[in-house]
A and B are shown apart, each in its own frame.
Chain A
């Protein structure tokens, strides 16, 4: 069992001082990378949980996380299975997912999700996480506005 939660980290990634940072779930079957990703993201103020497989990730309630970083190539089920499970539970839930891949053209990649290609720098990964957070907040704000105006559309 590799699933574990790291944090809460000191400081906040994006919120006011003293407030716990956004929650990030890292799903990668490489133990060393999981540990390093947790350290880097924790250092940026995120609350990080880690899992080594789709099954472990599902036990950590991925929908309760603000961002899910998932490697496409996991030992058993592929990372896209986790995205599919999230989509089945809630159509818009996949907008929190960022895919990690190590090979261009190696695996089919859902066209609507951001992809970070290995090897990546810590800065580029953190930037991708922040972009996803901003996009989700913007999407949530738009949905609230639409609902208030009665013009809401069904989630994707």
Chain B
């Protein structure tokens, strides 16, 4: 069995996010962080020539400026976390889904019988993001739950979503947006017409040992 072409696209999507993340971090390092460091060092040079009272005030400014600029640092990419599958997926969902695509995200990750590969995590992460985007392209869903179970045969993913309470329970437009995406990536959709909640189940089967893995590698970790 080879990876479906749509899963290759999902992995490319995450690879693209990784590249953007890295470029953004590099630009931050090469530009503003150098400048902020220079300003802090300049302030210190000035402070050392000032009387105590003024020096204390400048010192306070230095510390506030540093605290503010440290807050600008981007968190490390989830794919750079020591190859720990649980941390990678949890961090990826935390950085790219929770608070961005849904107001509250719960996770239930069961990797006792096997760990997902970087490529499987990338597919799962992209699938969750795209399904939530299709569900609500503008706002954020109220609550979602990602359940993932990994075994020797692959990864089973279940995304359960409670849309925002401002949306009508039976939203044909939402269902119409979700259906083609679910068909494309091979997810099984279920809607609850009473509450508007929906679920998407996706199974990532692993190639048999004799078959070469198809597609692209997981996002590069440099």
Q: Using CB atoms and an 8 Å cutoff, list the residues of chain A in contact with chain B.
A: 30, 32-33, 36-37, 39-40, 43, 73, 101-106, 117-123
Question: A102 contacts which of B28, B40, B43, B75 (Cβ < 8 Å)?
Answer: B28
A33 to B26, CA, bound (A): 17
Contact A122 B41 (CB under 8 A): yes
CB distance A102 to B63 under 8 Å? Answer: no
Across the interface, which residues of B come within 8 angstroms of A103, CB to CB? 25-26, 28-29, 33, 73-74
| Residue B111 is within 8 A (CB to CB) of chain A in the complex | no
Q: A43's closest neighbor in chain B, by CB? A: B48
Q: Give 16 pairs: A residue, B residue, CB < 8 Å, sorted on A.
A: A33-B37, A36-B41, A36-B45, A40-B45, A73-B30, A103-B74, A104-B76, A105-B75, A106-B29, A118-B34, A119-B65, A119-B66, A120-B37, A121-B63, A122-B40, A123-B59
A-B contacts besides A30-B38, A33-B38, A120-B37, 13 pairs, CB < 8 Å: A36-B41, A36-B45, A40-B45, A105-B76, A106-B22, A106-B26, A119-B39, A119-B65, A119-B69, A121-B40, A121-B63, A122-B40, A122-B62
Task: Report Cα–Cα, A121/B66, bound state, in Å.
Answer: 7
**A119 and B39 alpha carbons, distance in the complex (Å):** 9
Task: Decide: A118 and B48 in contact? CB cutoff 8 A.
Answer: no
Choice from A33, A40, A104, A122 contacting B34 with Cβ under 8 Å:
A33
Q: Return the CB mask of B36-64 against A: 1 if under 8 Å, else 0.
A: 11111111110010000000000100110
CB-CB under 8 A for A102 and B29, given A36-B38, A120-B40: yes
Number of residues in B with C-beta < 8 Å to the partner?
Answer: 32
Q: How far is the CA of A43 from the CA of B42 in the complex (A)?
A: 12
Indicate if B19 sits at the interface (CB-CB under 8 A).
Answer: no
**Chain B interface SS verdict (over half):** helix
Q: How far is the CA of A73 from the CA of B33 in the complex (A)?
A: 13
- In whole angstroms, how far apart are the Cα atoms of A15 and B45 in the complex? 22
Contact residues in B for A37 (Cβ distance below 8 Å): 41
* Distance, CA A73 to CA B27, complexed state (A): 12
**Are the C-beta atoms of B30 and A102 separated by less than 8 Å?**
yes
Collect the chain B residues with CB atoms within 8 Å of residue A33's CB: 34, 37-38, 41
Could you say which residues of chain B place their CB within 8 Å of the CB of A121?
Answer: 40, 44, 62-63, 66
Return the 3 tightest CB-CB contacts between A and B, nearest first.
A105-B76, A122-B44, A102-B29
Closest B residue to A123 by CB, please name it: B44
**In the bound complex, how far is the Cα of B36 from the Cα of A32, in angstroms?**
12
Which of B43, B45, B77 is A43 in contact with, Cβ under 8 Å?
A: B45
Residues of the A chain whose Cβ atoms lie less than 8 Å from the Cβ of B77: 105
A118 in contact with B29 (CB, 8 Å)? yes
Instruction: Find chain A residues with CB under 8 A from B29 CB.
Output: 73, 101-103, 106, 118
The reply to whether the CB of B184 lies closer than 8 angstroms to some CB of chain A is no
Which residues of the partner chain A approach B45 to less than 8 Å between Cβ atoms? 36, 39-40, 43, 122
Provide the residues of chain B in CB contact with A43, threshold 8 Å: 45, 48
Complex alpha-carbon distance, A37 and B41, angstroms: 7
